[in-house]
Amino acid sequence: MKNPYYSHPAKILKIRKESPDSNLYTLQFKEAKIQKAFHFHPGQFVMAGIVGYGEGPFDICSSSMETTTFDLSIRKVGKITQKIHTLEVGDTISVRGPYGHGFPMTKLNQKNLLLLGGGCGFVTMRTVILDYIKQKPKGQKIQVFFGVRSEKDFLFRQEFATWSKHVDLHLIIAEAKEKKSRYHQGVITDLFDKVKLLDNLAVIACGPPIMYKFCLARLKDYPISDEDIYLSLERRMDCGTGVCQHCAIGPYYVCKDGPVFSYGKIKDIQGAI
Amino acid sequence: MLNNLLYTKECDIIYPMKTNLKKLLKYIQQEHKLIAPIKKDHGVFLSQTKDLNKIILSSQLTENSFKDFLFPQEQELFDFKGAELVKPKQYTAPGLALFGISIIDLRALSLYAQVFRHDPYFQARGNNTIVIGYLKVATPDQTFGIFKERLEEDTLEHLEFDVFVLDSNTGLHFFSGSPKGQKALTQAGIEDFENVEYVGPVKESGLDQTMVANYKKVKNSFKTHRKLWEELGKRCLACGKCSLVCPTCFCFSTHYKFGQKKKTGKKVLNWDTCFYSEFSRVAGGHKFLDTVAKRIFFWYEHKFVRIPDELSIPGCVGCGRCIKVCPVAIDISRVLAELGKPVSKLASRKTLKKKKS
């Protein structure tokens, strides 16, 4: 019987500083057969951590078509992530997964997409963008709204130039910007006033609950059904398999039934958003 | 068939049949540690015993349930060395015999079997345990649990057990529910027993109607009966005693424990409770269940919404242990009754408490 709690050692191949408190880790499972069997869908996550300290859920943010390595963007925010930030190339992170259901890309590829990412919630959008650039589904266009507090908080900054060639990228910062800055100033919902949205649109959003609240209010002005708005939720998780109850919302488990839910599915659930 | 076994004239009680129970337990004791209802200072508990004369045979539920033994408070998952876990070569568990498990607790055990079907540790414990259900029927119209259930013809075929002993005034009647149970009965020299084939937890007649009614009551009640949940949130101490004794509570967290040698230790699983404020805390400090009202509702959601949705079986088996241990007398059956009323007819705070007996 497969042990659902067992995490496999993965080696850190590369660390890229993304922001003052976030690093991008490129990882590879030490066992070749585990790496070979590791396939994921955009929006899925892994339970990762350091043996002896703890583990938690992290969105995978590399292209799902990359099979030899995978990336996790980790922000230094708690006990485990602070410890992870002390690791160096060649050190080990323990990983199990992938878990949950990602974005329904087969369905979503029939529509244009609006990606809404707030702060470090943007992580999971990178997979969607990288896959789009590699696949380029016929006739599909993507708009990206990425909002952060200040310019230094942008993740994946060095990829923006490449992304801009393929997607309609809009970046916004909340704090006052410097003169001649190429970014918009304001909060992510301000972009709805500045940018004309595409037609036949589905939405993927990942960010703090407060961002969902205001973005959902703005999306009501557009002909987008609640079933075409997908949100990726964050919760505490211990098992990743829908047993330990930490991540439960109403009748669902964020780890097993999510982390991606259509807004239509969870809008009436107490405390979901 | 079951009902026919329950009632005959008092004089028909066949006392020698009791010997069969002793024979069975003595046989099982040879290879298993016997856990049975034993009287202690503050009630009857499932505890390990070698002395069969200490076993309490009654229709009363034990204070604790099987979960203390099949899902212990702390479970070792892995050893670790340096930065890597050491996967167990095999999953071992002590050979236990759980005797005196009520129908109510057998229901909860069937739920555990579903929930932990992919957990090799639980499966190993289950495989090494022989479960002997027991029901003492005191009166013909006896009901059990807070939902006033009765023993019905098909009750046993929807429960997972190895042996079941029905103790009525017509004597002891033995049932086997597994090859393990059949072997134990036969080897113990009991030939007069009936085989019961487990057909799954859901009855052919459809979903449990009490479960369906409670599901409707609880599902959206945080919006419709907000005041009630807030009242409960004010009263509840969030001590978590209800979840400790509940035979269908199984939430847990995992931790690392360091050993004597540097960089070695164990990864363990511990019981948790959703009543504690840290339960929903994520990195950075945000708690999704930030009030006691939200946490007590979450507990009811688990029992009456989440488990029925996921497994089509009740997440509350109606044992009433939570009512018994609650220090502020919150009574789950009274809460459910209140949730069935329109908001305008909600009772005052006092009526949510258990009735004085």
- The DSSP-derived string for A79-107 is HHHHHHTT--TT-EEEEEEEESB---HHH
Averaged pLDDT for residues B19-45: 92
pLDDT score of B60: 84
Averaged pLDDT for residues B306-324: 95
Which helix (DSSP H) or strand (DSSP E) does residue A232 occupy?
strand A229-232
In which band, very low, low, confident or very high, does the pLDDT at B15 lie, cut at 50, 70 and 90?
very low
In which band, very low, low, confident or very high, does the pLDDT at B353 lie, cut at 50, 70 and 90?
low
Select from B115, B123, B283 the Cβ nearest to the Cβ of A243.
B115
- Rounded Cα distance, B150 and B155, in Å: 9
Averaged pLDDT for residues B250-270: 93
| Amino acid identity, position A87 | L
More confident residue, B270 or B350: B270
Q: Show which of residues 86-125 on chain A sit within 8 Å of chain B, judged by CB atoms.
A: 91-92, 94
pLDDT score of B170: 82
- Two structure tokens written together for B124: 């190993």
- Two structure tokens written together for B133: 């259900």
Averaged pLDDT for residues B196-206: 90
Does the pLDDT of residue B275 top 90, yes or no?
yes
Averaged pLDDT for residues B227-239: 96
- Rounded Cα distance, B301 and A201, in Å: 35
pLDDT score of A177: 66
Contacts of B215 (CB under 8 A, 6+ apart): B304, B305, B308, B309
How is chain A split among helix, strand and coil, in percent rounded to 5? 25, 30, 40
Contacts B301 to A, Cβ<8 Å: 248, 250-251
Does the pLDDT of residue A219 top 60, yes or no?
yes
Q: Which residues of A166-193 are buried (b: 16+ CB within 10 A; e: fewer)?
A: bbbbbbbbbeebeeeeebbeebbbbbbe
Give the residue from chain B lying closest to A270, CA to CA: B222
- Two structure tokens written together for B110: 């069937």
User: Is ipTM beyond 0.90?
Assistant: yes
Contacts of B233 (CB under 8 A, 6+ apart): B291, B292, B293, B294, B295, B296
Mean pLDDT of chain A: 95
How far does the CA of residue B267 sit from the closest CA of chain A (Å)?
8
Identify from A7, A22, A73, A270 which residue to disrupt to test chain B contact, counting B C-beta atoms within 10 A and taking the largest count: A270
Select from B252, B265, B301 the Cβ nearest to the Cβ of A52.
B265
Q: Which residues of B167-196 are buried (b: 16+ CB within 10 A; e: fewer)?
A: bbbbbbbbbbbbebbeebbeebebeebeeb
Averaged pLDDT for residues A146-164: 95
In which band, very low, low, confident or very high, does the pLDDT at A168 lie, cut at 50, 70 and 90?
very high
A184-185 and A201-206 beta bridge pairing:
unpaired
In which band, very low, low, confident or very high, does the pLDDT at B2 lie, cut at 50, 70 and 90?
low
SS3 of residue A8 by DSSP: strand
What DSSP designation does A178 have? P
How far does the CA of residue A42 sit from the closest CA of chain B (Å)?
22
User: What is the widest separation between alpha-carbon atoms in chain B?
Assistant: 70
Contact B83 A80 (CB under 8 A): no
Does the pLDDT of residue A241 top 80, yes or no?
yes
Contacts A244 to B, Cβ<8 Å: 251-253, 272
Does the pLDDT of residue A126 top 60, yes or no?
yes
- The answer to whether residues A156 and A118 touch, using CB atoms and an 8 Å cutoff, is no
- Two structure tokens written together for B153: 């013809």
Q: What percent of chain B has pLDDT over 90?
A: 73
Averaged pLDDT for residues A30-40: 97
Mean pLDDT of chain B: 89
Q: What is the pLDDT of residues B41-95, one digit of tens each?
A: 889 999 999 999 889 988 789 999 999 999 999 999 999 999 999 988 889 888 9
Identify from B123, B267, B300, B305 which residue to disrupt to test chain A contact, counting A C-beta atoms within 10 A and taking the largest count: B267
Helices (H) and strands (E) in chain A, counts: 8, 15
Contacts A256 to B, Cβ<8 Å: none
Contacts A7 to B, Cβ<8 Å: 85
Backbone angles phi, psi at A230, to 5 degrees: -110, 130
Q: Looking at the complex, does the CB of residue A161 fall below 8 Å from at least one CB of chain B? A: no
How far does the CA of residue A202 sit from the closest CA of chain B (Å)?
27
Contact B301 A250 (CB under 8 A): yes
Q: Which of B57-66, B146-155, B187-196 has the lowest mean pLDDT?
A: B146-155
pLDDT score of B12: 36
Does the pLDDT of residue B337 top 60, yes or no?
yes
Averaged pLDDT for residues B221-246: 95
CB atoms within 10 A of CB A162: 13
Identify from A5, A73, A241, A266 which residue to disrupt to test chain B contact, counting B C-beta atoms within 10 A and taking the largest count: A5
Does the pLDDT of residue B299 top 60, yes or no?
yes
Domain coordinates of chain B in residue numbers? 2-195, 209-352
Averaged pLDDT for residues B231-247: 96
Q: How far is residue B189 CA from its own chain's centroid?
A: 30
Averaged pLDDT for residues A61-79: 96
Does the pLDDT of residue B124 top 90, yes or no?
yes
- Rounded Cα distance, B61 and B34, in Å: 18
Contacts A252 to B, Cβ<8 Å: 306
Does the pLDDT of residue B17 top 70, yes or no?
no
Q: Which of A11-20, B203-212, B342-351 has the lowest mean pLDDT?
A: B342-351
Averaged pLDDT for residues A221-244: 96
pLDDT score of B254: 96
Select from B119, B123, B306 the Cβ nearest to the Cβ of A251.
B306
The half-sphere exposure of B237 on its side-chain side, counting CA atoms within 13 A, is: 10
Estimate the crossing angle of helix B332-339 against helix B209-219, to 10 degrees: 70
Does the pLDDT of residue B6 top 80, yes or no?
no
- Two structure tokens written together for A221: 């002005």
Q: Domains in chain A, ordered, with CATH?
A: 8-98 (2.40.30.10), 105-232 (3.40.50.80)
- Rounded Cα distance, B31 and B12, in Å: 34
